Structure 1
Amino acid sequence: MVAYGILIASAALYAMGIVAQSIAARRAGRRPGSGLGLLARLTGDPLYLLGFCGQVGGFALAFFARDVLPLYLVQAASSSAIGLATVFGVVVLRWRIQTTEALMLVLMALGLVALAGSSKPSVAAELSSVTVLVLLGVLLGVGVAMTRLHRTDTFALPAILSGVAFAVVAVTSRTLAHWDLVSLPGNPLTWLMLAAAVLGQASMAVALQRGLATAVVATADATTIILSSAAGLTVLGDQVADGTELWVAGGLTAVVIGVLVLGSPARTTSGSVEALEKPA
């Protein structure tokens, strides 16, 4: 039960972090260059740093949850931040919510319940040398693609790249979660994880300048959920309770659909997160 409480707190911190980072990224102004340059400028913005601290806190809590919980549950729960942001807006900020959005919140909640009910605690398998090389290759591909981001003005590509990088973070951290903290600096996977986190953060910053925060986060989260869940089940040995295999498939589908619909740029909810993204 403690692990589930950690996941809820993690999602809340992620939600706060994304809203703060979105405001900071939009008011930073656009300049030619890769996302790493933008990320460097944003480090001087206190609001961005607040959002970054929220994401770091969310990641830290999710990291400890990955010690025993499968990636398909941890990533789905972390991605529910977009739903928590909507609930916060409705309850605290008096946003008006559409029927479709309300249905998506219910769908996501049901999906998370299904995933929680099907999850089976386990320690992740060690990554083979071949798998580590594949992850390194994926990360290098993300880095190369980031140098081409100036050729497009849409948020989709940087958001997807961010999701891919964060999937590498999820996979490596699932393996590292059962290591002693003092031994982590000497493990090459730790540095691979940190490099993936930096690239994911840089891609996210670019995407937040080009699209609505909800759409950016939804695209990145859906990418991360799908890739990391597949890797967890096929490479890391994540376990599913007997007879609940369909629960996992249904739960993941429900969460991904909910995330994408809530994050759709076509949403027109009055007073939604987009209202917070206007440049200062």
Structure 2
Amino acid sequence: MQLLDKVAVVTGAAQGLGRSIALAMAQEGADLVLCDLQEDKLAEVSTEIEALGRKSLALRCDVSSKEQVVELFARAADQFGTVHILVNNAARVPNSPEDEVRRSRHYAHITTPVERQSMGITSSLTDEDWLKWWDVNVHGVFYCTREALKFMEPQGYGRIINIASIAGTSAASAHSPGYSAAKAAVANLTKTVALDVAGAGVYVNAIACGGVLTPPFQAYLDKATEEEKANLYQIVPVGRLGKPEEYASLAVYLAGENHYLVGQVISPNGGVII
């Protein structure tokens, strides 16, 4: 129970990776503050946490709204008195029909012998394609971090875990330049904030995820052809996507006290990026 009596805020906790992280932290003794836009699914996760014997506060919150983020942390303080752990997991991901077409084009381009030519992705993006990634994926991380530090710095203790991506540390998601740029911002924000607050006993790190078998990715696979799925798995040396529970175990470790990691971007990715 390495997180016993700690209070953890997990954003984007209604499904997928956020849900797995929240449950893993509850199993290690933490009480949870959960936020998401999907209230029904969020309530289910809250019930699961309480069944583990831990306390849970589930709140609808759009992290791209600084006002809603301020309210989220105020409610956390009312319920639990403080916050020890923040997991910035909420994010917009490339799962629109247009995103899926670009993803399949990218995977085919790098796994099959075709004439070398531009994939035509960046030049075809609209302003909306570019701008839609920033409010949740970057501004939301900043807003939540700023509010969490108002608890962590005075108490001389805290753990912040940002969910980044190999999209932000490589060209692995060339099919989505805007998403990649936003995740790169998260990775570097992790480093700069870590240097800022380490002296106050607040450790900030990031997990740069490879492919995670979350509901949006599963939806893509359900619609993909056998050739498209083969192209995807060809990219991953271990031949499969990561399970949310595998990433959650690393988040629990980073939330604990038995490590010396500050400002690191750690990348479980099945060997896609070595």
Q: TM-score, normalised by structure 1?
A: 0.30
- Taking CA–CA contacts closer than 8 Å with sequence separation of 6 or more, which of the two structures ends up with the larger relative contact order? 1
If each structure's strand is expressed as a fraction of its own residues, which one has the higher value?
A: 2
Q: Which has the larger radius of gyration?
A: 2
**Structure having the larger proportion of residues in helix:** 1
TM-score (ref. length: structure 2): 0.30
